[in-house]
Amino acid sequence: MRFGDRLRAAREKAGLDQAELARLVGLDQSTLNHYERHRRRPDFQRLTDICKHLDVTTDSLIIGE
């Protein structure tokens, strides 16, 4: 499983849609969509913000568990 797949799974497990998570972390929904479709990767600060809102570790999104 790749980063975008793990991100999508964590977002769905948290009960958030793309628009909600994007709003929480201050992103455009299209940017989050690019993350989930393996077109872009967030910088470390954005990654930590996403993890905080999804209640997951950075390792779980980057390398999986």
The reported pTM is 0.91
What per-residue confidence (pLDDT) applies to 64? Answer: 74
Please write the tens of the pLDDT for every residue from 9-25: 999 999 999 999 999 99
Question: Residue for token digits 């390792």?
Answer: 59
Question: Residue for token digits 């929480």?
Answer: 24
Look at residue 63 and tell me if it is in a domain: no
Look at residue 38 and tell me if it is in a domain: yes
Q: Which residue range forms the structural domain that includes residue 10?
A: 3-58
Look at residue 10 and tell me if it is in a domain: yes
* Cα–Cα dist 31/37, whole Å: 10
Look at residue 65 and tell me if it is in a domain: no
* Cα–Cα dist 31/25, whole Å: 11
* DSSP class of 59: H
- Tokens matching residue 50: 């996403």
- Residuewise pLDDT in 10s, the chain (65 residues): 899 999 999 999 999 999 999 999 999 999 999 999 999 999 999 999 999 999 999 999 998 76
